[in-house]
Copies of this chain bind each other. A is one copy, B any other.
Amino acid sequence: MASSTYAVTKIVGTSKTSIEDAIEGAIATASKSLRGLDWFEVISTRGYIDNDKVKYYQVTLELGFKYDG
C-alpha cells in the first residue's frame, strides 16, 4: 500500500464452488464501480445449505481502494 488515503468498503461475495471464487466474484463486481482496488480482508465466511449440501458460500470482505475524496 503506497502512501496515500484509502477508503474501505464492505462487500459480500457468493459462490457455489469455493471461498476463493466468492472472493474473486466480490472483487469483480466491486471493480465495476470502484477504481484502484488494492487489498481485501476476509471478515466472515458463511453459507447457505440446501439438501444437506453447501448451496453457496457467502464471504464478507473489506475492500481497500485509493481515495482522493
Contacts and interface: CB of A to CB of B under 8 A. Distances in A.
Interface of A: 1, 3-14, 16, 18-20, 23-34, 37-42, 44-49, 52-58, 60, 62-64, 67-69
Task: Please classify the interface of chain A as helix (H, G, I), strand (E, B), loop, or mixed, using the class held by over half of its residues.
Answer: strand
B27 A53 contact: yes
Contacts of A34: 69
As for how many copies of this chain the complex holds, the number is: 12
Contacts of A68: 29, 32
Contact of A44 (B3, B4, B9, B41): B41
Given A23-B47, A54-B23, A69 B32 contact: yes
A4 B10 contact: no
